[in-house]
Amino acid sequence: MKAIRYTFQFIHLRSQNKWKHFSKNDFSIFPFCKIRNVEIIKNNKGYDTIRYFSNKSEEEKIKGEEYYLSMGDNIEKRYSLALYNIAKKNNKIKEISSDILFIKNNFLKDKTFLTFLHTPNIDNKNKLTFLKNECKKYNNNFNNITENFLESLFDSKRINFLQKIIQEFELLLMKDRKEIKCIVYTAKDIDNNYKKKINEAIIFKLKNELKPLVEFKTDKNILGGLVLQIGNQIFDFSAKSKIEKIRSTLL
């Protein structure tokens, strides 16, 4: 566990300093991932395409550098990536994911707990002790890696970022599983047959490279048709957008 605790100590380091510490101690923030990474991107011509990496070296060189350089001062990305890599290195992805989901569903959705967590007059040691005890009380398999990670957040005074860190961690898990979040907005509820057709169309769009996690929502403002969100890409097929286009051409 010393190695794990040591890794968390350098999350706050920036630029090349972090690389030196990870390299010196045989840690890598871009470990080998057996599952090929795939993502939807918009190229310079404006078309939506799918990019993937056929081997380890290509993935590490292109995808790894891009993700790391995009961090900047993004605390939640740095911490979530550190937790993900340690879980991966120790073959504890399933256990850590379970812990994170438990914290998210049982604590971060509780307004009373959030008030307690963000109250400055309560000592961080007391907050940490309470959180650890509650996690172990209701989750007998609460992992030491997760426990040490929580300690690192309190020690570095980054516990306020816990919600965002968990969100980023879940995105990393989705990448690992070749999953992508999709949201379909319609003006009113649609039947299962229509949902099935939309789901099949999304799979075809993704060329079976990614598994879509489709969620259906209603939005009266779109009037008709649908709006599709795949990852961070928006495809607007709504009646509202068509009306606005016609209106703009007439004015």
The domain segmentation of the chain, as residue ranges, is 2-31+71-175, 178-250
Which residues on adjacent β-strands are paired with residue 225?
A: 238
The Cα 60–Cα 39 span in angstroms is 15
Whole-prediction pTM value? Answer: 0.59
Mean pLDDT across the chain: 77
Q: What is the pLDDT of residues 32-41, one digit of tens each?
A: 333 344 444 4
The Cα 98–Cα 139 span in angstroms is 9
E strands in the chain: 38-42, 48-52, 179-186, 211-218, 225-230, 233-238
Residue of higher predicted confidence among 208 and 115: 115
pLDDT at 145: 92
The answer to whether the CB of 53 falls within 8 A of the CB of 44 is: no
pLDDT above 90 as % of the chain: 39
